[in-house]
């Protein structure tokens, strides 16, 4: 039964459908593993034992009567602590929201529950989701599966750790600048950032409503495909027969290759060679307008986040981790005209980017320029924190700024991912491409 903890969500679903695994037993295996784990309280903020067992019992009864709701009915997953859960605290990793208990589930959680997924609990995260590192001295800093002294990536830090340590079959996180893809890459998982607006943010504690997205952290592209369908109440894409033969991939040579550390660079270069060997055509292109997009990004993120969090932050600033407090307060000085002008600039750049990349099936790059940084040093060296946080999120932020879907895959090198950016709203095509890439890379 311990092997179940390391199976893909899709394989668990198939085993439930075949009658080989009972959802009640499966859920108890996960709950027991969580409660016995040395990092339980660093990964899970709250474990929803009663809810999980009740949902598993219902899934078990459906399986026995041939009434399963979908391929993941009865599969246990975790949820980042910014998705509202009825009757269970949702605190977004901050003391500012301590004791906040919503009355209803977030819409994506409602959809997942309707599809039969079992909620194991809420995972820790970077405070208010405003960091790609996963360091949170206010609540808890989750561990990285590849380095006990390093951070796991954020802001969906506990989400990534819950899957990487075998304490959830998959996890649901949010991605505003890379918060699904960084913990996925640093914990050797698959992570999908959806197009902004594809999945409902209703009942989700926001960071930046103009950039926030939702996506799964999981073990396979197939899992990501099935989870996306469950979250939106739709049908999964058909991944059968996907191939890289003749696929055109663009290596982005603007900003993202700069200062990439040795291990991520070597892992990316090796992965590109494997994709080419599988039939992909790879070209290098430069997109100079990306500099302008990065130049306006700081004001847009800061103003958006401060606009929502201002009252809570200014009422109790002493409750916040100073690094996060400084970041969110950066929105104080952004004027309305500057904010609007920034958005006008970014919208124009998005159109240019879409035209420049339209001939390619995906734009590829190293998911992160760096490996997971040392947690203790991040706490004591402010300059190190700032520089590593910016580098961690730099490459992933391209997809958020350009408003496209994006997926990271493991390269086989610990904590090094390769990222595939599609076009806006083309998740099905991206999933097919990544299913083929996954085969080539494994």
| Catalytic sites, residue numbers | 80, 155, 179
In DSSP terms, 410 is beta-bridged to 417
From 439, 16, 407, select the one nearest 224 (Cα to Cα): 407
Residue 248 phi/psi, 5-degree rounding, is -100, 120
Kindly list the distances between the CA atom of residue 379 and the CA atoms of 135, 258, 299, 334, in Å, as whole numbers in the listed order: 8, 26, 25, 28
Please give the Cα distance from 207 to 40 (Å, whole number): 26
222 half-sphere exposure, CB direction, 13 A CA radius: 16
Residues 120 and 53 sit within 8 Å (Cβ to Cβ): no
Q: Burial code of 32-66, b = ≥16 C-beta within 10 A, e = fewer?
A: ebbeebebeebbbbbbbeebbbebbbbbbebbeee
Reduce the DSSP state of residue 255 to 3 states and report it: coil
All residues at 6 or more sequence positions from 246 whose CB lies less than 8 Å from its CB, including other chains: 279, 280, 281
Element holding 33 (H helix, E strand): helix 23-36
Using alpha carbons, list the distances in angstroms from residue 127 to 48, 101, 245.
21, 17, 43
| Cβ-based neighbour number of residue 382 at 10 Å | 12
C-alpha–C-alpha distance, residues 6 and 338, integer Å: 49
Name every residue whose Cβ is closer than 8 Å to that of residue 162 and which is 6 or more positions away in sequence.
43, 44, 78, 120, 123, 168, 171
Q: What's the rounded Cα separation, in Å, for the pair 182 and 301?
A: 18
DSSP letters, 264-301, are: HHHHHHHHHHHHHHTT-EEEEE--TTHHHHHHHHHHHH
């Amino acid at each position: 039964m311990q092997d179940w903890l390391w199976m893909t969500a899709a394989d668990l679903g198939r085993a439930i459908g075949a009658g080989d695994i009972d959802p009640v037993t499966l859920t108890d295996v996960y709950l027991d593993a969580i409660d016995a784990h040395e990092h339980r309280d660093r990964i899970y903020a709250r474990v929803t034992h009663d809810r999980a067992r009740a949902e598993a019992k219902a899934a078990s009864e459906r399986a026995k009567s041939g009434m399963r709701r979908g391929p993941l009915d009865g599969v246990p997953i975790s949820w980042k602590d910014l998705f509202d859960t009825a009757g269970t605290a949702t605190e977004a990793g901050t003391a500012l929201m301590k004791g906040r208990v919503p009355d209803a589930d977030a819409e994506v959680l409602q959809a997942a529950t309707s599809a039969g997924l079992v909620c194991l609990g809420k995972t820790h995260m970077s405070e208010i989701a405003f960091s790609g590192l996963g360091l949170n001295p206010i609540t808890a800093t989750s561990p990285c599966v590849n380095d006990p002294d390093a951070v796991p990536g954020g802001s969906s830090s506990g989400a990534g750790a819950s899957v990487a340590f075998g304490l959830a079959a998959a996890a649901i996180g949010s991605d505003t600048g890379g918060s699904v893809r960084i913990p996925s890459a640093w914990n050797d998982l698959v992570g999908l950032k959806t197009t902004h607006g594809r999945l409902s943010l209703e009942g989700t504690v926001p960071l930046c409503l103009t950039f926030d997205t939702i996506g799964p952290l999981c073990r396979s592209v197939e899992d990501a495909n099935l989870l996306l369908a469950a979250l939106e109440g739709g049908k999964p894409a058909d991944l059968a027969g996907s191939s890289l033969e003749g696929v055109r991939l663009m290596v982005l040579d603007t900003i993202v290759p700069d200062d990439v550390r040795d291990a991520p660079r070597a892992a990316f270069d090796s992965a590109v060679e494997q994709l080419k060997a599988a039939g992909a055509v790879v070209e290098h292109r430069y997109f100079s307008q990306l500099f302008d997009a990065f130049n306006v990004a700081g004001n847009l993120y800061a103003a958006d986040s401060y606009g929502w969090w201002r009252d809570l932050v200014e009422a109790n600033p002493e409750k916040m981790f100073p690094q996060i407090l400084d970041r969110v307060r950066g929105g104080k000085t952004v004027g309305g005209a500057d904010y609007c002008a920034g958005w006008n600039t970014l919208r124009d750049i998005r159109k240019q980017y879409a035209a420049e990349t339209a001939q390619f099936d995906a734009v590829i790059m190293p998911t992160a320029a760096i490996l997971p940084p040392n947690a203790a040093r991040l706490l004591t060296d402010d300059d190190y924190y700032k520089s590593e946080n910016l580098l961690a999120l730099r490459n992933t932020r391209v997809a958020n700024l350009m408003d496209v879907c994006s997926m990271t895959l493991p390269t086989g090198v610990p904590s090094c991912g390769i990222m595939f950016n599609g076009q806006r709203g083309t998740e099905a095509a991206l999933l097919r491409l990544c299913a083929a890439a996954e085969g080539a890379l494994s």
